[in-house]
Amino acid sequence: MHDIRAIRENPVAFDAAMTRRGLEPQSSSILALDEARRIKIQAAEEAKAAQNAASKDVGAAKARGDNAEFERLRTLVAEKKDTVARLNDEAKAEDARLSDLLMGLPNVIYDDVPDGADESDNVEINRHGDPRVLDFPAKEHYELPGVIPGMDFETAAKLSGSRFVVLSGAVARIHRALAQFMLDTHVDENGLTETWTPILVREDMMLGTGQLPKFGEDSYQTTNGWWLVPTAEVTLTNIVNGLTVDEDYLPRRYVAHTQCFRSEAGSAGRDTAGMLRQHQFEKVEMVSIVHPDQSENEQKRMTRCAEGILEKLGLAYRTVNLCTGDIGFGAKRTYDIEVWLPGQGQYREISSVSTCGDFQARRMNARYKPSDGGKPQFVHTLNGSGLAVGRALIAVLENGQQTDGSVVLPDVLHSYLSGKLVLTTDGQLS
């Protein structure tokens, strides 16, 4: 959500920001609605003042026995009352139109976000480790002999359709171990608060974080109006929805492991093989609610939290600053972390860490009270994957593959897998 006062004060800057997003200038439409709304409000206030003045005179006219004036004034009061009600309704309608317009516009991005049309224009800012070079033809995760028994797409298609998977046996256990490892690391080493939240949310929660109204087709809605969360960003961020907290309440740093649901409406035909792009998947999500002065450093801290998971898993990755044509709707800046997948011979996204400024906070009306007693201000919100569990599974399997088709698993999973760090060619842990 955008600050209408900032648009009034500098419409040229706002139009320039929307142009960087690939949109037409918006300020003239916004300010026209804003002016119409303000005119109606002013007219309603003037009519109310006239109504109040006439109401006072009604009693005086009656007291002095001036029946003609009494009737005139009483009629005037009734007319003004109707006028006030009409103008208030019209002002509310203009306000709703303005709100709808502002709710549909993306966040203003930071100046250091690179200009570009798509992901090919993203700018690499960090690289860790060397991509594993195999001396045998690399297989994708779903082609590995030890994985095939525990990764069943055919049964999932029978149960639910395409882009679902049934995991079983050792593969399911590795998947669970990865999620537990991520959670423990974020809680024990990174200082995040483990949180368990619903995966069904009300519509206003999706509005608060920006999934609605524009991207409803990307998510699933139940017949009674709930929405399935596309990410725990929705629930974790909305913890402060409608709240005004004390400044010393901040920062709040949450982590949650949840099921996530996405229709993948805009990705027809992409990544249909394997479990890279699924309708139902798991993520360990990080969310921070911070003082505005902390948001820059917080994004760097969260990015390091996600990168650290990959480093502990011994996986090569790179971090990129998303360009204007690839950045998400609610973000002011996003760092994508891409892990190396030998089976595809390329880096693929495994985490996005975004800072949203006060964009979501305005939609949620989430504020903090300054400790010096000043006027309440909007908090800043950030979110990031720490990590996508299914994609971490893919990366671990593909990077650990051996000549004989077995998979050597990362040492950090030792305690989670009872010390068994080899997935054998027959799908067992040993």
User: Which residues are annotated binding-site positions?
Assistant: 231-233, 262-264, 285, 349-352, 385
In 193-333, where does DSSP find H-type helix?
203-209, 233-237, 295-312
* The pLDDT of residue 68: 67
* The pLDDT of residue 50: 78
Are the C-beta atoms of residues 276 and 391 closer than 8 Å to each other? yes
- Does pLDDT of 62 surpass 70? no
Confidence of residue 61 (pLDDT cuts 50, 70, 90): low
Average pLDDT value over all residues in the chain: 94
- Does pLDDT of 72 surpass 90? no
- Does pLDDT of 59 surpass 70? no
* The pLDDT of residue 270: 66
Torsion of CA 175, 178, 183, 188, to 10 degrees: 160
Q: Under 8 Å CB-to-CB from 406, ≥6 apart: which residues? A: 145, 146, 422, 423, 424, 425
Burial status of residue 322 (CB atoms within 10 A of its CB: 0-12, 13-18, 19 or more): buried
Percentage of residues of the chain with pLDDT beyond 70? 94
Are the C-beta atoms of residues 265 and 296 closer than 8 Å to each other? no
Burial status of residue 273 (CB atoms within 10 A of its CB: 0-12, 13-18, 19 or more): exposed
pLDDT in tens, 340-351: 999 999 999 999
CA-to-CA dists, residue 153 to 111, 142, 162, angstroms: 44, 9, 8
* The pLDDT of residue 54: 73
Describe the chain by its helix, strand, coil percentages, rounded to 5: 45, 20, 35
pLDDT in tens, 236-263: 999 999 999 999 999 999 999 999 999 9
* The pLDDT of residue 86: 86
One-letter identity of residue 136? F
* The pLDDT of residue 81: 81
User: How are strands ordered across the β-sheet holding 244-246?
Assistant: 244-246, 367-369, 377-378
280-290 and 252-261 as β-strands: parallel, antiparallel, unpaired? antiparallel
Q: Taking residues 117-134, report their average pLDDT.
A: 96
d(CA 273, CA 336): 22
CA-to-CA dists, residue 192 to 8, 39, 149, 246, 372, angstroms: 39, 48, 36, 20, 27
* The pLDDT of residue 228: 98
d(CA 232, CA 96): 28
pLDDT in tens, 81-103: 888 888 888 888 999 999 999 99
* The pLDDT of residue 268: 60
Is it true that the peptide bond before 145 is cis, omega within 30 degrees of 0?
no
Domain chopping of the chain, boundaries: 4-103, 119-423
- DSSP per-residue letters across 305-354: HHHHHHHHTT--EEEEE--TTTS-TT-SEEEEEEEEETTTTEEEEEEEEE
* The pLDDT of residue 45: 86
CA-to-CA dists, residue 357 to 14, 34, 125, 164, 317, angstroms: 16, 23, 21, 35, 27
| Structure tokens that stand for 51 in this block | 């109504």
pLDDT in tens, 372-422: 999 999 999 999 999 999 999 999 999 999 999 999 999 999 999 999 999
Q: Among 28-32, 78-82, 290-294, 332-336, which is the least confidently predicted range?
A: 78-82
Closest CA to 112 of 334, 414, 397, 382: 334
* The pLDDT of residue 264: 80
- Give the predicted TM-score (pTM) of the model: 0.92
> Is pLDDT larger for residue 158 or for residue 273?
158
- Does pLDDT of 218 surpass 70? yes
d(CA 122, CA 36): 41
Q: Which residues pair with 200 in a beta bridge?
A: 228
Collapsing DSSP states into helix, strand and coil, what is residue 143? helix
Q: Quick one: CATH architecture of 119-423?
A: 2-Layer Sandwich (3.30)
> Is pLDDT larger for residue 29 or for residue 264?
29
- Does pLDDT of 115 surpass 90? yes
d(CA 80, CA 88): 12
Would you name the residues annotated as active-site residues? 262, 277, 349, 352, 391
Its CATH class, for the domain covering 4-103, is mainly alpha
CA-to-CA dists, residue 85 to 40, 211, 322, angstroms: 11, 34, 49
One-letter identity of residue 298? E
- Does pLDDT of 63 surpass 70? no
In 138-290, where does DSSP find H-type helix?
153-159, 169-188, 203-209, 233-237
Q: Which residues pair with 123 in a beta bridge?
A: 321
Torsion of CA 79, 83, 85, 87, to 10 degrees: 180
Overall size of the chain counted in residues = 430
Q: Under 8 Å CB-to-CB from 394, ≥6 apart: which residues? A: 141, 274, 275, 276, 341
Closest CA to 261 of 206, 188, 323, 324: 206
